[in-house]
Structure 1
């Protein structure tokens, strides 16, 4: 787990544990952007505020007052203006090059080697090699009041039984998805924000908010990339597709032809195409790859499928599944805050924290259902964009595609 750093040379991530002190952070910053510890102005929070570093020993833990820097937080570094009195002593105990990131590192989304399951966060600090980590929010203190009762969460069905976002049997990735409709957010007004505030007594603060990703045939990968890196791009989506393919081929027993609906090599070849949608299989593979729980909120059926539950993972991310589309859920410090200040993954090791997010996620799912933010794939009406034939539901569209070879389908009322 780490914090994100924005500095004049770009961005970087810094591994954080309970034993990391101010000196280590300042030396890492100096390595990244060339600003010496005594010349650094460090801002945290939203809106960003400068930390009072004057007189603070370099041995002060980042989790202690007056710093109180939390996992998943973003800090902003600038050159201190002349005359500022907030300098902090530099550390003399750690190497400025020991964290292994070159000066001017700018790319937060570049994949890094995954740590073995047995490694604790403290080990990452000891090795001085930061991981490119997502925004993981851990409460600074336990909730002062009992946490609300959690929303019931069902364990995921076998991957092949999770809806695969408009895909025919037996090969789920054969039929291309629907073309993007003029409005990619059914039931929502343009620019409308759907969010649920966390209660004031909660150990967490902010607004759990729907973050919509494009209808570009890679919505699942875009949503997951947003959770992992706070951004998405064709390159990051392709990386996730490659991880899926490797995971499937590495475990032929778990991902057999019976589960996939196609021979594994054929399945992964199709998964490399940008026009192939992802679903339950992909969520199961990527949950294991990134060692985190992935909770998919099914708007139509009012349930949540949790992938990776019971595997000892310490973080969870939330996705919204609306029948033929995936989006992401993020926690904004306040409505309208930039995405870069959002928490996108949640530390589930602190008692009470996960329950609060589960309750808010359940409320947000119900809001979306009330606004009809979903597509009923059994009853929706389609038109073939190649021959104009009207079709009803996924079954008729699948049959038409297999018979005619047509691949352009559009939903209409």
Structure 2
């Protein structure tokens, strides 16, 4: 199994252990990395220490790909502290006429290492377990599938597998996924969603929650709304951010300069603190206006010069010429050009997106 280790000296990858080995074996494997024989090992979110050295890694809940935080301690966590020594007698006061030259102050023992984490202007939120950060994926019409592939399996290349899973689920359940629900004939939708040019939305997220066996929480940047798919059905959740026309992944990282190998993307579905942190991340993005307001963006038709507001205004405007004759006020709409080449649909409050 592959474990990501964050320790005072930096970060490392440990891949020499198997699930049936013990926490004590894990300690022995970590000791040469951190250069000391005793350490506190924490994992999960929020981080909790692993205290029973006889537990197997599997029994302790440590899984392949987990990120563990290592803290150096002088004595075992559960051992009793040594009695405090008797106080030394106070030194005699120096004569008033004598100048006092104190020796340099000794460094405080066992002080925690200074954090090397710096958020700067990055899109990240500090948590007890590290930084919750945005992991952007390409604008290639498959952003939803790439984001879900990353947070669920740490693999952005499984887009076609996920598209196929959606198509299969729709094909096997004509009652749940009727023509009316899909907005077009089922057979056409099944063919359409498997094309690399097709965008996914709420229907796809609901299906993939079941396929990936994980709760999927989608946080809308503009409104701060959290749409939960598979809520109450799974022990773990993953997080994605929706900006109006694009999805990105969300991950917990020890530091913004750490490689993505150290990202944690699965969290306990019983802990809402990580969702609250994701909402704060959406707040940061909203303050920076990193979203597209699909209801209120402005356009004008270059043929009749009429101003158009939002997606509804675009689609209800009489056709005045070639599609390129729809241009934008204030140079904002270049990211919204997709309305000229494909139909956008909305299901359950979440727009489809690429």
Alignment TM class, shorter chain as reference: 0.5 to 0.7
Tell whether 2:21 aligns with 1:21.
yes
Deviation (angstroms), 1:304: 0.2
Task: Give the counterpart of 1:195 among 114, 124, 135.
Answer: 124
Distance between the aligned counterparts of 1:322 and 1:345, measured in 2?
21
Show the counterpart of 2:134. Answer: 210
Report matched runs for 1:12-411 at 5 Å.
16=19, 20-22=20-22, 42=29, 49=34, 60-63=54-57, 70-71=62-63, 73-74=65-66, 193-199=122-128, 205-233=129-157, 236-310=158-232, 312-349=233-270, 354-381=271-298, 392-398=309-315
Cα pair 1:223 1:319 within 8 Å, conserved: yes
SS at the partner of 1:193?
A: coil
Distance between the aligned counterparts of 1:336 and 1:389, measured in 2?
48
1:21/1:297 CA distance change after superposition, 3 Å: same
1:52/1:22 CA distance change after superposition, 3 Å: farther
Distance between the aligned counterparts of 1:12 and 1:251, measured in 2?
42
Distance between the aligned counterparts of 1:261 and 1:361, measured in 2?
31
Cα pair 1:323 1:377 within 8 Å, conserved: yes
Deviation (angstroms), 1:255: 1.2
Deviation (angstroms), 1:209: 0.7
SS at the partner of 1:255?
A: coil
Superposed CA deviations along residues 159-214 of structure 1, whole A, max 9, x for unmatched, are xxxxxxxxxxxxxxxxxxxxxxxxxxxxxxxx952111114xxxxx1111111111
Superposed CA deviations along residues 257-280 of structure 1, whole A, max 9, x for unmatched, are 111101111111111111111000
Deviation (angstroms), 1:74: 5.0
1:5/1:196 CA distance change after superposition, 3 Å: closer
Distance between the aligned counterparts of 2:256 and 2:189, measured in 1?
41
1:383/1:73 CA distance change after superposition, 3 Å: farther
Superposed CA deviations along residues 315-346 of structure 1, whole A, max 9, x for unmatched, are 10001111111111100022221111111111
Deviation (angstroms), 1:296: 0.4
Which stretches in structure 1 are left out of the alignment for 5+ residues?
Answer: 27-40, 54-58, 76-190, 200-204
Higher relative contact order (CA 8 A, sep 6+): 1
Cα pair 2:215 2:269 within 8 Å, conserved: no
Distance between the aligned counterparts of 1:399 and 1:307, measured in 2?
32
SS at the partner of 1:208?
A: strand
SS at the partner of 1:336?
A: coil
SS at the partner of 1:217?
A: coil
SS at the partner of 2:273?
A: helix
1:15/1:297 CA distance change after superposition, 3 Å: farther
Deviation (angstroms), 1:408: 11
RMSD: 4.2
SS at the partner of 2:134?
A: strand
Cα pair 1:220 1:325 within 8 Å, conserved: yes
Superposed CA deviations along residues 60-115 of structure 1, whole A, max 9, x for unmatched, are 53449xxx88335458xxxxxxxxxxxxxxxxxxxxxxxxxxxxxxxxxxxxxxxx
Cα pair 1:384 1:409 within 8 Å, conserved: yes
SS at the partner of 2:2?
A: strand
Deviation (angstroms), 1:399: 5.1
1:290/1:15 CA distance change after superposition, 3 Å: farther
Deviation (angstroms), 1:251: 1.4
